[in-house]
Structure 1
Amino acid sequence: MFGRSKGPDFPPINVEGEGQLRARLRTSEGDVIVRLFEEKAPRTVANFVGLAQGAIEWEDPNNGETTTRPLYEKTIFHRVIPSFMIQGGDPLGQGTGGPGYRFSDEFHATLRHHKPGVLSMANSGPNSNGSQFFITEVATPWLDNKHSVFGEVIENMDVVKAIARVPTNPVNNRPQNDVVLEKITIYRGENPPD
């Protein structure tokens, strides 16, 4: 799932405009708008933005090829648990894939899993971040200082709730019908580009 460790060499965030850095997650269930905390979680946000925009080289676990294709396009939410969270960002769609590298945790005293809609990195233990992320549906304080918070939902939390309630396989919490993350658009300001 992982591989090499990645140093502090994520590309700079290159998004035109002014204002808050945001991402529109276009899913098969509707759009979710998140604010990204670039000041408080700069490396984690740079990784997410770089993978979303195709600005970071990563190793596709499906074929072993190195690519700069936007990683998140056409991936699925492979794990959804009502009254907990929805998880995606795995190029394999199974919960075991990633970009072929891992990077260290990034915690900030004011970034907590204290409410619904927190965007955070999924991991398999300390300093094992890659591409997988989750969005909380409720407060999950037991995840503080274990998972790096890097954003929050600011519009369409109802879509997160809908995804969390799709029928799933009770063994692995995978949706019975794929919930697809079609594309992530990174932008600044109030309105996402079309």
Structure 2
Amino acid sequence: MASKPAESKPAAPAATASPAKASRPAEPAAKEDETAAKKAKAEAPAKAKPVATFETTLGTFKAEILLQDVPITASNFIDLVKAGFYDGLHFHRVIPDFMAQFGCPYSRHVDKMQNAGVGGPEEDSEFKNLVTGETLTRDEEGQIPDEFTSKISNKKGTLSMANCGPNTGGSQFFINTADNTNLDWWDTTTKSQHPVFGKIIEGMDVVVKITKVPTKDDRPVTPVQMKKVTISGI
């Protein structure tokens, strides 16, 4: 399934809990689960502000990852970063004054990019919610549920999940290089719903440069590679 942000500019493009052990007399299951969740959240880095550093062939940029606002989406991203999932991939879709899209595993080899835009994480793979401590499982297509909880708009410089409909987010995301508020999940004027999970804090000029490379069908003619993504602050 293709993961992509719909657009209003050029033609619209094709994109459980782990209960804690009771140290005292056993509690009813429901209460025990609730106690475990509260304990995990209390022990989690509640004030953590992770920062992702993106090293590309056109320069480096950094983004704060909004873990406390969208913990599932952000934890999914952080898990993929730590696994080295993004290292070596290429930007497969860029549009000036709109966005730069990245994160498809089929973009790794520039001579085999025809399917770039339809891939994602491994099916049924697990990751940890870094706020609650829960272990979550991506579905049979490697997708995660939509997290429509925080109204953070798709303003210039934000990182947002790419998708091709409800609950189809995975590894692909895009960086807004304009105020694309029509992509906000609470905007009922369009069907596009894309939750923001990060914001650029350094190197926005590099992102803009990436969107302005020559393209064919929105794909860079000269490949722009992500050499490495690292995470700090957590």
Q: Shorter-normalised TM-score: what interval? A: 0.7 to 0.9
Q: Which runs of 5+ in 2 are unaligned?
A: 3-15, 19-39, 108-115, 124-141, 186-192
Distance 2:157 2:17 in 1: 28
- The one-character-per-residue Cα deviations of 1:68-117 (angstroms, maximum 9, x if unpaired) are xx21010000000000000000000211111131111112343111x211
- In the alignment, structure 1 residue 53 sits paired with structure 2 residue 82: yes
Give the TM-score normalised by structure 1: 0.78
* 2:146 corresponds to: 105
Q: Is this contact kept in 2: 1:77–1:86, CA < 8 A? A: yes
* 1:139 corresponds to: 179
Q: Which amino acid aligns with 1:26?
A: E
Distance 2:149 2:196 in 1: 8
Distance 2:69 2:104 in 1: 24
Indicate the SS of the match to 2:201.
strand
* 1:44 corresponds to: 73
| 1:132 Cα deviation after fit | 0.3
Indicate the SS of the match to 2:215.
coil
- In the alignment, structure 1 residue 153 sits paired with structure 2 residue 182: no
* 2:223 corresponds to: 178
Q: Which runs of 5+ in 1 are unaligned?
A: 55-69, 190-194
- The one-character-per-residue Cα deviations of 1:117-153 (angstroms, maximum 9, x if unpaired) are 1101101111101100100000001110101110000
- In the alignment, structure 1 residue 162 sits paired with structure 2 residue 209: yes
Give the TM-score normalised by structure 2: 0.65
Q: Which amino acid aligns with 1:133?
A: F
Q: Which amino acid aligns with 1:107?
A: F
| Closer, same or farther: CA 104–8 of 1 in aligned 2, 3 Å | farther
Indicate the SS of the match to 1:179.
coil
- Give every structure 1 segment of 4 or more consecutive aligned residues whose post-TM-superposition deviation is greater than 6 Å: none
Percent of pairs with identical residues: 41
Alpha-carbon RMSD across the aligned residues, in angstroms, is: 2.2
Distance 2:50 2:17 in 1: 20
Aligned equivalent of 1:71, options 85, 102, 105: 85
Q: Which amino acid aligns with 1:84?
A: F
- The one-character-per-residue Cα deviations of 1:43-73 (angstroms, maximum 9, x if unpaired) are 111110101101xxxxxxxxxxxxxxx2101
Distance 2:73 2:222 in 1: 30
| Closer, same or farther: CA 8–30 of 1 in aligned 2, 3 Å | farther
| 1:8 Cα deviation after fit | 7.2
Structure with more strand by fraction: 1
Distance 2:82 2:163 in 1: 21
| Closer, same or farther: CA 131–8 of 1 in aligned 2, 3 Å | farther
Aligned length: 162
Indicate the SS of the match to 1:102.
coil
Distance 1:8 1:132 in 2: 26
- In the alignment, structure 1 residue 20 sits paired with structure 2 residue 49: yes
Pick the structure with greater CA Rg: 2
